[in-house]
């Protein structure tokens, strides 16, 4: 068991889900791959399919249209998996909170299908890459207890 969680911590593969973001957080997520931050040092890479992912980096306000899709993507991800809610919009729908086209915030949306989901919050508009690396490190610490 210890070996299993150690391997999981050392190789977190990230799938990036956009649920209606303004593209700012998405650019900051991609910044993690650049030479300045180089997240591959920790074994993290961006993958193309939720089936390969261990981390869902969710950006955006989670609109009514995106809500069922996000739930579907979460259910398609093999467990154990971690959800990173990136940016103010993903945390509490930001300045769009009272709009007509909002679903529920990202954490509520995912808890609706899996009450025990591991969700980490990265606040900021948009969060700095350092904040996301810190969240990734906290995710690794949390997975130790799994």
Partner 1 sequence: MGLGWILLIFVLSALGTLVLGLLLRWVDRKVTALVQWRVGPPWYQPMVDILKLMGKENMMPVTARGTLFLLAPIVAFAATAVAAAILWAALFYPGATFLGDLIVVIYLLTIPAIMTIMGASASGNPHASVGASREMKLLLSYELPMLLAILVSVSRGGWTFQLGSLISAQVATSPTVLSISGLLAMIIAILCMQAKLGQVPFDLAEAECEIMSGVFVEYSGPSLAYWLMTRAMLLAVLPLLVIVVFWGGLYPTWWGVLTFLVKYVVLVALVTLIRNTNPRLRIDQTMKFFWFGMTPLAVVAVILALVGMREGLSWL
Contact flag: residue 144 with partner 1 (CB under 8 A): no
CB contact at 8 A, 19 and 106: yes
Contact flag: residue 68 with partner 1 (CB under 8 A): no
Contact flag: residue 65 with partner 1 (CB under 8 A): no
Contact flag: residue 40 with partner 1 (CB under 8 A): yes
Nearest-angstrom CA–CA distance, 102 and 100 = 6
Smaller CB separation from partner 1, 25 or 73:
73
Contact flag: residue 72 with partner 1 (CB under 8 A): no
Q: How many chain residues touch partner 1 (CB under 8 A)?
A: 21
CB-based contacts of 79, cutoff 8 Å, min separation 6: none
Give the pair of three-digit tokens for residue 110.
């995912």
Smaller CB separation from partner 1, 68 or 78:
78
Q: What angle do CA 34, 119, 133 make, to 5 degrees?
A: 25
Match 């998996």 to its residue by tokens.
Answer: 81
Smaller CB separation from partner 1, 78 or 125:
78
* Cβ neighbours of 32 (radius 10 Å): 20
Give min distance, CB of 34 to partner 1, in A.
Answer: 8
Contact flag: residue 47 with partner 1 (CB under 8 A): yes
Cis peptide bond N-terminal to 126, omega within 30: yes
Q: Which residues bind partner 1 (CB under 8 A)?
A: 3-4, 7-8, 10-11, 35, 38, 40-41, 43, 47-49, 51-52, 54, 76, 78-80
């Amino acid at each position: 068991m210890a070996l299993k969680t150690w391997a999981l911590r050392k190789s977190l593969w990230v799938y990036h889900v956009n649920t209606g973001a303004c593209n700012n957080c998405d650019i900051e997520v991609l910044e993690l791959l650049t030479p300045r931050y180089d997240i591959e040092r920790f074994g993290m890479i961006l993958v193309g399919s939720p089936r390969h992912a261990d981390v869902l980096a969710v950006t955006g306000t989670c609109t009514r249209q995106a809500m069922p899709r996000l739930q579907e993507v979460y259910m398609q991800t093999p467990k154990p998996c971690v959800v990173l809610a990136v940016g103010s919009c993903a945390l509490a729908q930001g300045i769009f909170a009272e709009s007509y086209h909002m679903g529920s915030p990202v954490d509520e949306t995912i808890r609706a299908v899996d009450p025990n989901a591991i969700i980490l919050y990265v606040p900021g508009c948009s969060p700095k890459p350092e904040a996301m690396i810190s969240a990734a490190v906290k995710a690794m610490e949390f997975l130790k207890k799994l």
